[in-house]
Structure formats: structure tokens, C-alpha cells
Amino acid sequence: MTTTRFFAAASRRAVLVGNTYTGCLFLRGLVLLAGASVLSAIAWAGGAEVSGSLGGITIGQGGGTHAVYGGAGGVRIGDHIHLFGEVNHSTILTLTDSGVTGNAGLTNFGGGADFSFGSPTSKVRPYVTAALGVGHFYASAQGVSLTITNSAYTGFGGGVRVYVGEHWGVKPEIRFQRYLSSLFQVNSAVYTVGLFYQFGD
């Protein structure tokens, strides 16, 4: 399988053809937003949270189900609201033919807010969340990497923070996302279990 054939197969599988230039600008803006969020968290350690997560993503229209992993950083606003920036990645296609191995991946860059219910001192705090970002789909083979497309998305969902210790715990979450590119309008579901740590009181 030639590199060209692999890129063509990756493009067909994901059906991700959009406005790459606009998506790149949006992607850079979101990366800066996420970075600013993390820096704010460091500066305001009393309200900072960092987390890592593992789980799965199911992509509609035949995109299949794949493993996903990622991380996030955010700041607390009052007793109930968190603002966050995040990134997660999934390998959605791997092919080997005639000694050539290629893969295609989807990386989501985004941010948003969640609202927690209950007392700030409770050990179990359910929450709802809303997010927006951009999905970056690429393929690579034989040392060559190609951006297939970038597509903005919006998402909503919910989860629960379960405090195991004073500052840390686990965070199962499910989120539904809609990719918005004119040529890539597809729904996805992301379900993860995260480990979080909160700084300060």
C-alpha cells in the first residue's frame, strides 16, 4: 500500500473534508485559550484542578468506537462553576500493507464550563458541562503527515466528582458532541473516567 493510497483510505473512512484554513485559526485560538486557563490555574492555586482521563469515543455515520485519552486544567469560580481547557486524542484507523504502516488520528482541542450541584463539602458532586472546540483529523505514513481537516464542535453532558481524598478523586463523565463542518456534520459520544486533583482548600 502506497502512502497516497493510505491517505485516500483515511480520508474516506473519516469523511473529514472541511475548511482547513479557518479550522487552523480556530485551533490556534483554542490552544491559546487552554494555555491561558492552565496558567490562570497555576496563578490561582486555591481554585485549580488538573485531571487525566481514559475512555472511548463513538463516532456516528460508521466512524466506529475507539479508545480515547486526554487531560485538562481549569479554575474554580465560586463554589459551583469550573472553567477548563482540555485536549484528548484517539487513533481511529491503523492500516498495514506491503510493509507500509499508517494511522489516522483525531485530536480534540477545546474548553468550556461545568456546574456542580450540592454542598462544596460533599464527597459526591454531580455536574453538568458544556464545551466547544475543534477536532483535528490527520493521517501519517512513512514519516509523512497530512492534515485531512479541522472541524469545530460543540458538546454537552454530565458527570460526577467522587472525592476519595481531601483534594483528589475520580470523575466519570459522558458527553455528546456535534462536529459542525459543512462537509463533516456528525455526532459523537465521549465517555471517560478521569482522575482529578484540586489545589488549595
| For the chain, domain boundaries | 3-198
Distance of alpha carbon 54 from alpha carbon 18, whole angstroms: 28
- Architecture of the domain defined by 3-198: Beta Barrel (2.40)
Least confident of 13-17, 107-111, 185-189: 13-17
Q: Where are the alpha helices (DSSP H) in the chain?
A: 3-14, 20-43
* Greater model confidence, 39 or 171: 171
Cα-Cα-Cα-Cα dihedral sign, residues 129, 130, 131, 135: positive
Place 45 in a pLDDT band, splitting at 50, 70 and 90.
Answer: very low
**Taking the model in full, what pTM does it have?**
0.74
Mean pLDDT across the stretch 138-157?
A: 85
